[in-house]
Amino acid sequence: MVWIYHQYSGELYHNDRLVDRGYSGKGTHKNNPASESVRGKGPIPRGRYTIGGYTNSKGPMAIILEPCDCNNMYGRNLFRIHGDSREHPGEASEGCIIVGPNARREIISSVDRDLVVE
């Protein structure tokens, strides 16, 4: 099955089950589909992504997302799924998807590697 992330609400679903509520984007651009083209502030652009491996580049379990060539990325790149800032909660995203550690563990351990951002 595919993972689904709702850009406007921050909800992450897998197999029609709500896994977590997070966010993507910063400030007034957070979870705002009209801002998906705003570099460094808007939410992750809508489209299809392949879930790759993970690194610790943005904290523990930062999951790499590879966009489909069919997506309009607005010149944006390097999207991840990672955790929130401890010092500034709610401000960790420049477009990455922010969810908790349990959701990230579930994504990493899943055989499903497709993410659709709606």
**The pair of three-digit structure tokens given for residue 3, joined into one six-digit string:** 């993972």
Phi/psi for 104 (5° steps) reads -65, -40
State the chain's mean pLDDT as an integer: 97
DSSP at 109: H
Instruction: Give the pLDDT confidence score for residue 60 in this predicted structure.
Output: 84
Strands 62-67 and 17-21: unpaired
Given a cut of 90, whether residue 58 has pLDDT beyond it is no
- Identify the structural domains of the chain with CATH numbers, from first to last: 3-117 (2.40.440)
Given a cut of 80, whether residue 12 has pLDDT beyond it is yes
